[in-house]
Amino acid sequence: MTVQSTTPQFKQNTKDALKNANLQTALRDTRNGFVGKRAAAREKMGVDEFEGLRDAARDLKNHTLANLDVYLEMYEEQVRASGGHVHWAKTAEDAQRIVLDICRKADAKTVNKGKTMISEECGINDFLAENGIKPVETDLGEYIIQLRGEHPSHIIAPAVHVTVPEVRDEFRKAHTHLDADRNLDGLDTLLKEARGVLREKYFEAEVGITGANMLIAETGQSIIVTNEGNGDLSQSLPRVHIVMASLEKIVPTLEDSATILRVLARSATGQDMSVYTTFSSGPRRATDPDGPEEYHVVLLDNGRTDMIGTEFQDMLRCIRCGACINHCPVYQTVGGHAYGWVYPGPMGSVLTPSLIGVEEGGQLPNASTFCGRCESVCPMRIPLPKMMRHWREREFEKNLTPSAMRYGLKAWAFVAKRPWLYRVKTRAAIMALGLLGRRKGRFAALPLASGWTGGRDMPAPEGDTFMAQWKAGKRP
Amino acid sequence: MPPTNPRVALFATCLVDMFRPSVGFATVKLLEEAGCEIHVPEAQTCCGQPAWNSGDRETARDIAKQVIVAFEGYDYTVLPSGSCGATIAKDYPAMFDEGDPWRIRAEALARKTFEITSFLTDVMGVETVAAEVPRLVTYHDSCSGLRSLGVKAQPRKLLASAGVSVREMEESEVCCGFGGTFCVKYPDISNSMVNDKVTNATATGAEMLLAGDLGCLMNMAGKASRDGKQIEVRHVVEVLAGMTDTPAIGEGQG
Amino acid sequence: MSGRDEIMQKLTRTLDQGDGRAARQAAVRAHMAKPGGPVPSIAREEDAVGAFIERAIKADATVSRIASADDLPKALAEELRNRNLPAAIRHGADPMFAGLDWGGLETSVGIGRIEEPATLSRAEFGVAETGTCVLASGADNPVTLTFLGETHFVVLDAGDIHKGYEDMWAALRARGLTPRTVNMVTGPSRSADIGQQLQLGAHGPVALHVFVIG
């Protein structure tokens, strides 16, 4: 693993997040934006048709994963035929080494980055910087967090946790070549300033790194889907273009990409289509006046082939739209950084243990109420709660479940499996609790239940159990 | 078409059994009004969801078998809970491998297991309930009932038939933060979530906050009382059965 | 062992536990023969040109119609004037542009530069489904013009507007086009990364105007 996680400290992270007033403001201001926009886009298309496309997208990706070796070979052949190079990276470290080699051969001092989560997963920025190459994030959100020395807190809105005054402060600190007394009040002035600063950087870099939303097996094209246009400038202007993509990004044909595109933006931002959807193949041709002279694809595995054939395979259908994150009440409460690694929210809670190990990432699949909202909006119909439960099963099998919880479960199971004992035990407990609490109707504190009573009362039981009253002949 | 007087087994659920028997009696009343013959199998304890969701498949399976044996002989199994209902109707079959005879029995039980408002509306074709409760309420859609069992319109339809006005809250479909063991494993997050929920509920100005799951209700009632918010928290069946004379959840008996 | 071999061997070993390699190849062949999924009704509307214009405008582009390519210089000059832009345009070597009388407009041919107030491209196709322009890279229409122009003008033949993506891909194949880059453009550049408020013109064009010919 190359990117240090703070996932084992998830609980502490969430406590800090809840106390972080700026973060809470940012989360509150955005919580209904994405949700409302997705719902409107779905309505606009027609619910039945949208749901049909979700089925088709799921089936398409299932087909691709079931035949992934054949499609990968086809893709590789097509990239080669168009003059590009495919580099296979088994691990994040392999990907780092490959990217550095390409940058060194290009004699790169500066590398422009389009937004890529695979690069985050591989820790490319820190690695390049350690090796004397300057990575410049060009997605506006990524740029803001790079200035802040942070990682993205959301896969499609990386700076969603940053408030406008914080952006203003960062720009004043970073853009020292500009007039110190300039007016930065309006959002438009902030955008214009970033646009100006980054525009120059596009022309400085020798290498541009982007991700890929899809890789087309039939044609060997990589697809990026963006709204800003930074990804296109990052891949068109430098002499060398590196695509970093994980190997499950394959789709068979151009027509198939249409199916994914039809659910992607609608699920992500509620747009019918993102502004720029770009299909790229190989380096610039003899007659092309622009475009990169070299085109490299780094195909990352990093644990994904280990997921194939397991109960976690469905996760590889994920197209990184962020809908599960946008709809997750836990994410909406604590934000993305609390998750402690690259991928937050429900998709992160399933993927993180797969990629960094359940020992390290096991907190995440536990931090869910299984409310199911993520699965209900996932365009690829990934059963996220079910897979989180599978992680809990793995933890239970590996004895990683906390001992208090394990012991409690065991004791409870012993009783629950013996109805007569259960009757006696629950009745005794409830009668006692009822006697204590019936007058007020609730408890402000209870032994062993401080987690509950820290923030809320515990309603008292009414008195005798239902089963005992029923048996005694009570009827409504 | 269901049989005219179906033999219905009531699964009270552990929380109703222990904390709020009146929900069990209200359920019985509604079922009887709908013409059902009520049975309460002795061997019921818990549906096994805590084990299943904690990754303890073996215990979950053991408990599922116990429930299957106790309930499979009836025409229907009905629960005053979408959460426990979904465990039986959706999770039990998934607990057993294809080809395991228990899988077939689990699937058979799953097919005839229903949450109470869904059973009354979708199976028994109940259009109106007997009670008249002209009150203003708001309704929290508990997650499993809503998303696993499709319970959304049914309680609202029955409430309307009882003369209840429902004023919808913001984010009625967002989790209240209970989540079974979640609320004690992650109390800070849970507390923040239930705070949002109770804030949204009270913002409607409704007199009552209703839902179909006692776990969520205890969570919301506990938060409302801690924060001194004046809203009566009840299980939807209490209102539908006209049994609102008992103290609300978390309210004292004086 | 190379990374490639390691990955492919692991993958093949796992997938072999299901269908065999030959069966997988057959499944792939069958799929490639009949690719794609359901085509939604927004991609099947009879009036493709009307739907294209309506949806491009919804995506914050502006659109005007001209009768023929000969009308382009005048229409473009007017648009530039209305936008308070200098009477100058940067475009590629597309034959359509070469044959036009640009009148008083200052034109230059080439790729995008660091400051480009206005650029012009000819789109190969339009897609009614989402009001999307489809551009093919090359000397005729360099890809950087699409992203570096502060205002980007696109000219598009009404006859090249297709109902859905599938129709557009079929037309691209039929035309024998295999450009290095295919750019689908739906409205001007935008970002909500500052304060989650949507603003136009993040890195790419602040404005996109489409001239539909015919």
Identify the CA nearest to B134 among candidates B156, B160, B108.
Answer: B160
Q: Which one of B189, B191, B199, B229 makes the best mutation probe of the A interface by having the most chain A beta carbons within 10 Å?
A: B189
pLDDT at B123 (0 to 100): 97
Separation CA B67–CA B77 (nearest Å)? 10
Q: From the CA of B111, how many Å to the nearest CA of chain A?
A: 20
Which SS3 state, helix, strand or coil, does residue B136 take?
Answer: strand
Q: Is B28 exposed, middle or buried (0-12, 13-18, 19+ CB in 10 A)?
A: buried
Residue with the two structure tokens 């058979």: B108
Was domain C45-213 assigned CATH 3.50.50.60? no
Separation CA A278–CA A377 (nearest Å)? 26
Q: Which amino acid is at B51?
A: A
CA R_g for chain B? 18
Domain A306-397 is in which class? mainly alpha
Confidence check: pLDDT of A374 > 60: yes
Q: At what angle do helices A68-81 and C21-33 cross, to 10 degrees?
A: 60
* Sequential DSSP letters for A267-285: HHTS-SS-SEEEEE-SS--
Q: From the CA of C187, how many Å to the nearest CA of chain A?
A: 6
Task: Quick: pLDDT tens for A6-22.
Answer: 999 999 999 999 999 99
Delimit the domains of chain A by residue range.
31-302, 306-397, 404-471
Chains that touch C (3 or more CB pairs under 8 A): A
Cβ contacts (< 8 Å) between A330 and chain B: which residues?
186, 189, 193
Residue B103 exposure: Cα atoms within 13 Å on the Cβ side = 7
Cβ within 8 Å, pair B193-A441? no
Q: H or E segment at A465?
A: none
Sheet holding A134-137, edge to edge: A85-89, A294-300, A240-246, A207-210, A110-113, A134-137
Q: What are phi and psi of B97, to 5 degrees?
A: -70, 155
Query: Where in the sequence of chain C do the CATH 3.40.50.10420 domains occur?
Result: 45-213
Which SS3 state, helix, strand or coil, does residue B208 take?
Answer: strand
pLDDT at B252 (0 to 100): 87
Cβ contacts (< 8 Å) between A259 and chain C: which residues?
36-38
Q: From the CA of B14, how many Å to the nearest CA of chain A?
A: 9
Confidence check: pLDDT of A448 > 80: no
Q: Take residue A127 and report the two structure tokens written for it.
A: 């690695």
Q: Which amino acid is at C197?
A: Q
Cβ within 8 Å, pair A456-B28? no
Q: H or E segment at C47?
A: none
Secondary structure tally for chain C: helices H, strands E: 7, 12
Confidence check: pLDDT of A181 > 70: yes
* Sequential DSSP letters for B58-124: HHHHHHHHHHHHHHTTSSEEEES-HHHHHIIIIIHHHHS-TT-HHHHHHHHHHHTEEEHHHIIIIIS
Scanning every residue of chain A, which has its alpha carbon at the shortest distance from the alpha carbon of C179? A281
The rounded mean pLDDT for chain A is 95
Task: Quick: pLDDT tens for A103-134.
Answer: 999 999 999 999 999 999 999 999 999 999 99
Cβ contacts (< 8 Å) between A275 and chain C: which residues?
59, 185-190, 204
Planar angle of CA B149, B155, B156, nearest 5 degrees:
125
Separation CA A251–CA A59 (nearest Å)? 11
Separation CA A423–CA A469 (nearest Å)? 12
Separation CA A271–CA C185 (nearest Å)? 13
Cβ contacts (< 8 Å) between B18 and chain A: which residues?
426, 429-430, 461, 465-466
pLDDT at A449 (0 to 100): 82
According to DSSP, the β-strands at C181-185 and C161-162 are: unpaired
Cβ within 8 Å, pair B59-A413? yes
Beta bridge partners of C151: C118, C207
Q: From the CA of B171, how many Å to the nearest CA of chain A?
A: 9
Q: Which domains, from first to last, does chain B contain?
A: 7-123 (3.40.50), 136-240 (3.40.50.11810)
Confidence check: pLDDT of A1 > 60: no
Cβ contacts (< 8 Å) between C42 and chain A: which residues?
45, 272
Sheet holding A250-251, edge to edge: A250-251, A214-216, A221-226, A276-280, C181-185, C132-136, C125-127, C161-162
Asked whether the beta carbons of B154 and B68 are under 8 A apart, the reply is no
Confidence check: pLDDT of A75 > 90: yes
Scanning every residue of chain B, which has its alpha carbon at the shortest distance from the alpha carbon of A409? B51
pLDDT at A439 (0 to 100): 87
Cβ within 8 Å, pair C138-A285? yes
Cβ within 8 Å, pair A456-B63? no
Confidence check: pLDDT of A417 > 60: yes
Distance in angstroms between the alpha carbons of the first and the last residue of chain C: 60
Task: Quick: pLDDT tens for A136-147.
Answer: 999 999 999 999
B55 touches chain A (CB under 8 A): yes
User: What is the pLDDT confidence band of residue B4, given thresholds at 50, 70 and 90?
Assistant: confident
Which SS3 state, helix, strand or coil, does residue A447 take?
Answer: coil
Confidence check: pLDDT of A405 > 90: no
Option in A60, A67, A233 nearest C37 (CB): A60
Task: Quick: pLDDT tens for C50-75.
Answer: 999 999 999 999 999 999 999 999 99
Separation CA A391–CA A170 (nearest Å)? 39
Cβ contacts (< 8 Å) between A72 and chain C: which residues?
8, 11
User: What is the pLDDT confidence band of residue B132, given thresholds at 50, 70 and 90?
Assistant: very high
Cβ within 8 Å, pair C180-A291? yes
Task: Quick: pLDDT tens for B185-236.
Answer: 999 999 999 999 999 999 999 999 999 999 999 999 999 999 999 999 999 9
B240 touches chain A (CB under 8 A): no
DSSP code of A299? E
Separation CA C149–CA C111 (nearest Å)? 10
Separation CA A264–CA B78 (nearest Å)? 40
Sheet holding C116-122, edge to edge: C62-66, C207-213, C149-157, C116-122, C88-91, C106-109
pLDDT at A446 (0 to 100): 84
Which SS3 state, helix, strand or coil, does residue C116 take?
Answer: strand
Q: Take residue C33 and report the two structure tokens written for it.
A: 């023969």
Residue with the two structure tokens 């931002």: A269
User: What's the residue count for chain B?
Assistant: 254
> Is the ipTM here above 0.95?
yes
Which SS3 state, helix, strand or coil, does residue B183 take?
Answer: helix
Confidence check: pLDDT of A404 > 90: no
CATH ID of A31-302, from 3.40.50.300, 3.90.105.10, 3.40.640.10, 3.40.50.10420: 3.40.50.10420
Mean pLDDT computed over A201-210:
96
Sheet holding B232-235, edge to edge: B165-166, B136-139, B208-211, B232-235
pLDDT at B1 (0 to 100): 67
Task: Quick: pLDDT tens for C74-89.
Answer: 999 999 999 999 999 9
Q: From the CA of A375, how many Å to the nearest CA of chain C?
A: 21
Identify the CA nearest to C165 among candidates A265, A80, A318.
Answer: A265
User: What is the pLDDT confidence band of residue B254, given thresholds at 50, 70 and 90?
Assistant: low
Residue C98 exposure: Cα atoms within 13 Å on the Cβ side = 8
pLDDT at A122 (0 to 100): 97
Separation CA A19–CA A28 (nearest Å)? 14
Mean pLDDT computed over C131-139:
97
Mean pLDDT computed over A391-396:
95
Separation CA B61–CA B92 (nearest Å)? 8
- Taking the mean position of all CA atoms in its chain, how far away is CA A309? 22
Which SS3 state, helix, strand or coil, does residue B2 take?
Answer: coil
User: What is the pLDDT confidence band of residue A401, given thresholds at 50, 70 and 90?
Assistant: confident
Task: Quick: pLDDT tens for C138-179.
Answer: 999 999 999 999 999 999 999 999 999 999 999 999 999 999
User: What is the pLDDT confidence band of residue B68, given thresholds at 50, 70 and 90?
Assistant: very high
Option in A139, A256, A306 nearest C36 (CB): A256
Residue with the two structure tokens 């109940």: B126
Asked whether the beta carbons of A35 and A266 are under 8 A apart, the reply is no
